Amino acid sequence: MNPNLASLFRRRSIRHYQNRPVGDAIVKDMLEAAMAAPSACCKDPWEFVVIRDPETLAEIASALPNGPMLAKAGVGFIVCGNMERAHDGALSYMLQDCSAAIENLLVAASSLGLGACWLGVHPREDRIAHVSRTLGLPAHVLPVSAIAVGWPGEDKEARTRYSADFVHHDAW
């Protein structure tokens, strides 16, 4: 692994957190990193709901089969896409843009010493409805994912998942 890319290889899904708050300045740093992502025609269709309330975290976690750690996170982020700002109003562009922001947020969390885990909401209609209802999202704002973030309660080694089998040169 190239040591210049250590922050990328250190990013791992962390599902156990210490009972310790994540400060406002760190949350802002993560949001700044997320919003530094590229987006189609610079439309920046992302919206972020920052959740610290334990009851709200638990309510959202209850609708995510792989998301019980969200209830124990120091902070949760719901990454949403605003369809009114998506390039050409296209769902695909909005999802790509939000995914770039999500990855930036995850790498930022890891770089700041935090653990994070990406939890899928879209395209599951039941999850979308639950999160939208719980947070009172407007109809043109679609929840894409939940991100659980906290001070890590587990340690995972850096790794690469590179496979030459998935690389094609010049043609398939």
Q: 98-155 pLDDT, tens per residue?
A: 999 999 999 999 999 999 999 999 999 999 999 999 999 999 999 999 999 999 999 9
Q: Is residue 95 part of a domain?
A: yes
- Tracing tokens 């885990």 back to the chain, one arrives at 117
Query: What is the value of pTM for the model shown?
Result: 0.96
Question: Within a domain: residue 6?
Answer: no
Domain of 106? 27-152
Here the CATH number for the domain that contains residue 63 is: 3.40.109.10
Left, alpha or beta for 42 (phi > 0: left; psi -120 to 50: alpha)?
A: left
Report yes or no on 4 lying in a domain.
no
Query: Across all residues in the chain, what is the average pLDDT?
Result: 97
Q: What is the average per-residue pLDDT within 51-69?
A: 98
Helix (H) or strand (E) holding 119: strand 115-120
Mean pLDDT of 74-103: 98
Is residue 12 in some structural domain? no
Domain contains 42: yes
Q: Is residue 129 part of a domain?
A: yes
How far is Cα 133 from Cα 150, in angstroms, rounded to an integer? 25
Counted domains in the chain: 1
Type of residue at 101: A
Provide the pLDDT for residue 151.
Answer: 98
Question: Do the domain assignments include residue 163?
Answer: no
